[in-house]
A and B are shown apart, each in its own frame.
Chain A
Amino acid sequence: MNFLLEIGTEEIPHWMLPGALKQLAAMDLFGTTPQVDATPRRLVVRATGLPERTPNEEQIIKGPPISAGDRAAAGFAKKQGVELETVRKAGDYYELRKDVLGRAVRDLLAESLPAAILGLQWPKTMYWTGQNGPRFIRPIRWIVALLGDQIISFEMAGVKSGSVTRGHRRLGLASIPVAFDGYESELRKNFVILSSEERREKIEREAGALGAKLDVELLETLTFITEYPTAIKGAFDPAYLELPAEVLTTVMRHHQKYFSVESEPGKLASHFVAVMNTSGDREGLVKRGNERVLKARFNDARFFWTTDLDRALVDRVKDLDRVTFHAKLGSYFFKTERVKALVEELGGNANAQSAAYLCKADLTTEMVKEFTDLQGIMGGLYARAQGEPEPVWRAIYEHYKPLSMEDSIPATPEGRLVALADKVDTLQQCFRVGLVPTGSRDPFALRRAAQGVVKILVEAKLDYELTDLAEGELREFLLDRIKYYFREIRGFKYDEVNAVLASGCGTLADVEARLTALAAVRPTQNFEPLAASFKRIQNILKQANFGGSDASPDPSLLEAGPEADLHKEFERVRVATKDAGYQTALEDIASLRPKVDTFFDKVLVNAKDEKVRANRLTLLYNLLTEFSTIADFSEIVTAGEQKS
C-alpha cells in the first residue's frame, strides 16, 4: 500500500530542513524505503509497498522456573489472564504461547505517527497551544496522512489528520484534496515545487542565465526558503562600485540574500540577482522594491565607509575599552594589549606587533557594527586606506582566518602570527575563567579557535611547541584538536596519531613529519609484528614493576646467542638511527624484528639469577625507550588485536 504523510507547518528555518530530511528518511515504515521532501511549509514522507496488516504471530512469554512450584505457575497464569492449563513446561521454565493477531497497519500508524512526528529533533523548539501542548520547530497547521486511499486518523496540537493540503501561500489554493497518486503534480499546479533538488536546479538555471555568480551556501539557503523560486535581475548605481567589493558582496549576499554579478572574473558588475518565492514579476514591482532596499543599504555602507575613515584606527584602539570581549574577561582593549604582548613574545616583528595592536579597532566602526561578518576585513581595508604598510593591513585583514577547517590560513607571516595569538589568547582567557566547552555546548566557538590554532601551526610549519602556548586543561583540549585534525582532516589512522603523540608533542611540524614517516613504514612487513613485540615488552616491564633507569645493560651478563645478538642489533640500530630522517629511522627500527622475535622465542626474561634477570629487563627497557621517541609503538593496533 502507498503511504503519504505531509506535516504542514508555518515557515521552518531553512537551515534546519536538510537535518529534518535526514531524520525523516530514517523513519521506520515497515521495512520500506521512504522518499522524503521538504519545503519551508511542509515535511513530506512517501513510501510504497507497506503491508495492509502485520502477520499473525505466536508470542512466547517466559514464566517462573518449574522449581518455583505450582503456586508460582498459578500466579503467572493469573497475571497473564489465562487458565492454568494453557501454561506449559518448556525446559526448566513455565511458558505461555499466545497467538497474537496481526493488526491493521493503518491503526498502527495512527498510534505511532504522532510520537514519530514530535520525536523529530530540532535545534530549538517552541510551544504554541499552551505550555502542556506539543513542542515543535514551528506551529503545525495541517496534516495529510494516507495509507492507500484511506486517512490514517490521529490528532495532534488540535490538528486532525486528513487528505487536504494547502498550496503556495499567495498563488495556490488554501484547500486541496489529494491522494498518493498525483500528490506532487497537484502541488505543482498550486505553485509548490516539492523536490528541493528541482528547486535548486530551477534557481541555478534561472540565476545562472541572468549572470549570477552562484555560491553553494546561498543556493542552499534559497532552495529551502522558497516553495516556488524564481530569479530576477536588478541593477544599482555603478557609482557604488567605488566601495570595497567585500562590502558590496556582504550586503548583497548575507543581508539581502542576492547573488552578485561579475562583469569579468573578480570584478563586480552593477547588478544583482534576487530569488523570489513567487512565479514572476510582470510589472517589475519586486525588482524595483529590491533595488530600493539595496540602494538604502549601499547608502548606509557608503556613509559608514566615509565617516569611519575620518578616525584613524590607532585612535580607535582606546575606544575598545567600551567593547565587551566577555563579561568575565573585560574589554577588547585589554584583549588587544594581551594579543600584542603575545605576538611580541612569540617573536613577531614590528609590523606583526602593530597589526596586533590595530586588529580589533574596527569593532568600533559603524560598518562593522552594522555588518559584523566584515570584522577584520574592514580593519584591513581601513588600515590600507589610511596608509598602513601592506604587511600590517594584510595581517589585520586575515587575522580571523581560518574560519573553518576548509578555509585557508592567512597568507603572510604577520597575518599568521596575529591570527594565532588572537585565538590562543581567547582560549587561554576562556579556560582561565572556566568557560570550557562541554559536550555539544561551545558558545564561544573555542573548538573552532583551537582548530584554527592547530591548522596554522601545522600548515605554516611554525616553530612553537604546544607547551609554549598552553598548559593544563587547555593543553589537553588542544591535544584533542590536534588528534582530530590529523585524523579527520589529514586522514591518518587514529592509532598512528595516538602513537606519535604518546611520544611527545613538540612542534606540530615535527608531529606531522613523524606521522608521515610512521604511515609510510607501517605497511612494511616487519613493522606491525615489531609493534606487537614492543607492546609485549611494555607489559613485561610493567609486570616486573621495572621502573627503569638510565643504566645500560652489562654486556658481561648477556647470554651468548639470541640475547647478545639482540644487544648487538640494538647498538647497531641505535647508531644507525642517530642522525637519520624519521622514515629511515623507523625502517631501521623495524629491522630489529627478527632478533626481537628470536629473543622472545629462545630466552626466558624471568631468569632465576636475579642479576641476569635485571640485566635483561634493562636491555628491554633500553630498547623501548631508545626507539619510542618517534612514536610509541605500543599504541599501534595490530591486525591480531583488531580481530579479537
Chain B
Amino acid sequence: MDSFQQTLFKLKRYWDERGAIIQEPYDVEVGAGTMCPETFLRVLGPKPYRVAYVQPSRRPADGRYGENPNRLYKHQQLQVILKPSPDDVLDQYLGSLEAIGIDLSKHDIKFEEDNWEAPTLGAWGVGWQVMLDGLEITQFTYFQQCGGIDVDPVPAEITYGLERIVAFLQGVDSVYDIEWTRGVKYSEVRLTEELQFSVYNFEMANVERLWRLLTEYEAECKELLAQYDKYEAKRRFPVLAAYDQVLKCSHLFNLLDARGAISVTERVGVIKRVRDLAVGTAKLWVDQQQEAA
C-alpha cells in the first residue's frame, strides 16, 4: 500500500512524463488550486502551458475542529492544467488513476455533469465530477471564461481531491487515519492545525481588523491597477503582485464569512469588490503578455 506522499509522487511523476511543469504550492492562502496564478493567469492568452502542483486549499467555513472524518479546513488538491486540452485528455486522466493503483476494470467510474463557476473570479467552465464507486474523487473542467475573459485555447483543469483518493486507496474511513508516510498518520501531521485554525476562524479572528485588512489589500491592488496605463516599461509592471492582493482579499472574505461577519447586504457587495479586482488584474495580465510577445 502506498503512503499519502508515495501516491503524490506517482501522480507528479505521471504528469511529469506527459510534459507538465511540476510546480510547488503557491505561498499565498487560496481557497482552491484554481486561484493560484499558475492557473488563473496562465489559462489566459494563447500560450500553451502544462503544469501540475499540489495546492493546500483553505476553506475556513469547512473547518470542523478536526472532529469530522471527511471535512477539513485545509485540504490538498492536485491541480493539473493542460492548455490546450489534448483530444485524449479523459483517457490520460483515467491513466493517472491506473498509475496510482486503481484497477479500473474492477471499479465503477462515472462522469457526472458538474459545471464549475467562481463568481469572485469571473470564471466558469463545464465538466464533470468524476465518481469512483460512488465517491467524488476529481473535478474536471473545460475552462470557458476566466477573469471575465473568454479563454482561447481551451484548457482542461483536473483537480484531484487527494485526501479522498488516498483514503479510498488505503481503505480508511477517516482522513486522519491516512498513512502520510511509513508509521506517520495524517492526524499527526495535520490535526493540530485543523483544530487551532478552526478555533481561530470561528471564534477568535478579529472581525474589525479583518475588515480593515480587506480594505487595505483592496486599496493596494487598486492603486497598482490604476498605474498600469501610464507605466512605460510594461514588462516590469507588477501585475503578479497586484494579483497577490486579490488572493489576500479573497481569503479575508472567506474568513469573515466563516466568522459570520458578512451580512446579506454586504455579501453581494464584497463579492463584487473582489471580482472587480480579479477581472481588472486578468485584463492587465493579458495586455502585458501581448506587449511582451
Proximity bits, B110-136, A CB within 8 Å = 1, else 0: 111101000000000110100011110
Contact of B154 among A128, A293, A322, A323 (CB under 8 A): A128
Whether A289 touches B133, Cβ cut-off 8 Å, given contacts A40-B111, A126-B144, A131-B152, is yes
Answer whether residue B5 sits at the interface, using C-beta atoms and an 8 A cutoff: no
- A225/B110 in contact, CB under 8 A: yes
Proximity bits, B252-293, A CB within 8 Å = 1, else 0: 000000001011110110000000000000000000000000
- A323/B264 in contact, CB under 8 A: yes
Answer whether residue B17 sits at the interface, using C-beta atoms and an 8 A cutoff: no
Proximity bits, A247-286, B CB within 8 Å = 1, else 0: 0000000001110000000000000001011100111011
Which of A10-18, A397-405, A606-614, A632-640 is the contact stretch? A10-18
Chain B residue nearest to A222 (CB atoms) is B110
- B108/A171 in contact, CB under 8 A: no
Residues of B with C-beta under 8 A to A294: 134
Contact of A293 among B110, B135, B144 (CB under 8 A): B135
B158 to chain A, nearest CB (A): 13
Contact of A225 among B70, B112, B142 (CB under 8 A): B112
- B134/A290 in contact, CB under 8 A: yes
Residues of B with C-beta under 8 A to A285: 106-107, 133
Q: By CB atoms of chain A within 10 A, which of B112, B128, B262 has the most?
A: B112
Residues of A with C-beta under 8 A to B168: 289, 292
A99 to B135: give the CA distance in the assembly, Å. 65
Which of A324-332, A451-459, A583-591 is the contact stretch? A324-332
- B152/A283 in contact, CB under 8 A: no
- B111/A324 in contact, CB under 8 A: no
A356 to B84: give the CA distance in the assembly, Å. 53
Residues of B with C-beta under 8 A to A158: 87
Contact of A277 among B90, B110, B260 (CB under 8 A): B110
Chain A residue nearest to B144 (CB atoms) is A126
- B70/A289 in contact, CB under 8 A: no
Contact of A128 among B71, B142, B265 (CB under 8 A): B142
Chain B residue nearest to A40 (CB atoms) is B111
Answer whether residue B104 sits at the interface, using C-beta atoms and an 8 A cutoff: yes
Residues of B with C-beta under 8 A to A274: 108, 134
Answer whether residue A127 sits at the interface, using C-beta atoms and an 8 A cutoff: yes
Answer whether residue A303 sits at the interface, using C-beta atoms and an 8 A cutoff: yes
Proximity bits, B140-153, A CB within 8 Å = 1, else 0: 00101000001011
Residues of B with C-beta under 8 A to A171: 105
Whether A170 touches B69, Cβ cut-off 8 Å, given contacts A10-B90, A128-B154, A130-B152, is no
- B106/A127 in contact, CB under 8 A: no
Binding site of B, secondary structure by majority: helix, strand, loop or mixed? mixed
Residues of A with C-beta under 8 A to B153: 129-130
Residues of B with C-beta under 8 A to A282: 106
Answer whether residue B94 sits at the interface, using C-beta atoms and an 8 A cutoff: yes
- A169/B109 in contact, CB under 8 A: yes
Chain B residue nearest to A333 (CB atoms) is B264
Taking CB atoms and an 8 Å cut-off, the chain A residues in 213-264 that contact chain B are: 225-226, 256-258
- A11/B128 in contact, CB under 8 A: yes
Answer whether residue A578 sits at the interface, using C-beta atoms and an 8 A cutoff: no
* Interface size of B as a range: 35 or more
- B126/A126 in contact, CB under 8 A: yes
Taking CB atoms and an 8 Å cut-off, the chain A residues in 122-156 that contact chain B are: 124, 126-131, 138-139, 141
- A13/B260 in contact, CB under 8 A: no
Q: By CB atoms of chain A within 10 A, which of B84, B105, B106 has the most?
A: B106
A259 to B129: give the CA distance in the assembly, Å. 20
Q: By CB atoms of chain A within 10 A, which of B108, B115, B132, B265 has the most?
A: B108
Residues of A with C-beta under 8 A to B108: 274, 276-278, 281, 286, 289
Answer whether residue A296 sits at the interface, using C-beta atoms and an 8 A cutoff: yes
- B268/A289 in contact, CB under 8 A: no
Answer whether residue A299 sits at the interface, using C-beta atoms and an 8 A cutoff: yes
B217 to chain A, nearest CB (A): 24
Contact of A124 among B85, B126, B262 (CB under 8 A): B126
Answer whether residue B173 sits at the interface, using C-beta atoms and an 8 A cutoff: yes
Residues of A with C-beta under 8 A to B85: 128
Residues of B with C-beta under 8 A to A127: 144, 154
- B106/A283 in contact, CB under 8 A: yes
A293 to B167: give the CA distance in the assembly, Å. 11
Residues of A with C-beta under 8 A to B94: 169-170
Chain A residue nearest to B87 (CB atoms) is A141
B210 to chain A, nearest CB (A): 16
Chain A residue nearest to B70 (CB atoms) is A296
Residues of A with C-beta under 8 A to B69: 296, 299
Answer whether residue A295 sits at the interface, using C-beta atoms and an 8 A cutoff: yes
A139 to B141: give the CA distance in the assembly, Å. 12
A138 to B267: give the CA distance in the assembly, Å. 34
Contact of B264 among A129, A289, A322 (CB under 8 A): A322
Whether A277 touches B128, Cβ cut-off 8 Å, given contacts A290-B134, A293-B133, is no
A137 to chain B, nearest CB (A): 9
Whether A13 touches B113, Cβ cut-off 8 Å, given contacts A170-B105, A299-B69, is yes
Whether A289 touches B132, Cβ cut-off 8 Å, given contacts A277-B110, A278-B108, A296-B70, is yes
Chain A residue nearest to B90 (CB atoms) is A10
Whether A277 touches B109, Cβ cut-off 8 Å, given contacts A128-B85, A289-B134, A296-B173, is yes
Chain A residue nearest to B167 (CB atoms) is A292
Q: By CB atoms of chain A within 10 A, which of B70, B154, B268 has the most?
A: B154
A290 to B111: give the CA distance in the assembly, Å. 16
Residues of B with C-beta under 8 A to A40: 111
Residues of A with C-beta under 8 A to B106: 281-283, 285-286
Answer whether residue B206 sits at the interface, using C-beta atoms and an 8 A cutoff: no
A316 to chain B, nearest CB (A): 13
A328 to B111: give the CA distance in the assembly, Å. 36
Contact of B173 among A124, A128, A295, A324 (CB under 8 A): A295
Chain B residue nearest to A225 (CB atoms) is B110
Answer whether residue A184 sits at the interface, using C-beta atoms and an 8 A cutoff: no
A360 to chain B, nearest CB (A): 13
A296 to B175: give the CA distance in the assembly, Å. 11
- List 6 additional A-B contacts (Cβ < 8 Å) besides A285-B106, A286-B107, A295-B173: A11-B113, A127-B144, A139-B87, A139-B142, A170-B105, A289-B135
Interface residues of A (CB under 8 A from B): 10-11, 13-15, 40, 124, 126-131, 138-139, 141, 158, 169-171, 225-226, 256-258, 274, 276-278, 281-283, 285-286, 288-290, 292-296, 299-300, 303, 321-325, 327, 330-331
List the 4 closest A-B pairs by CB distance, nearest first: A289-B133, A13-B113, A276-B108, A11-B111
Chosen A-B contacts, 11 in total, with CB atoms closer than 8 Å, are: A13-B113, A126-B144, A225-B110, A277-B108, A278-B109, A285-B106, A293-B135, A321-B263, A322-B263, A323-B264, A327-B264
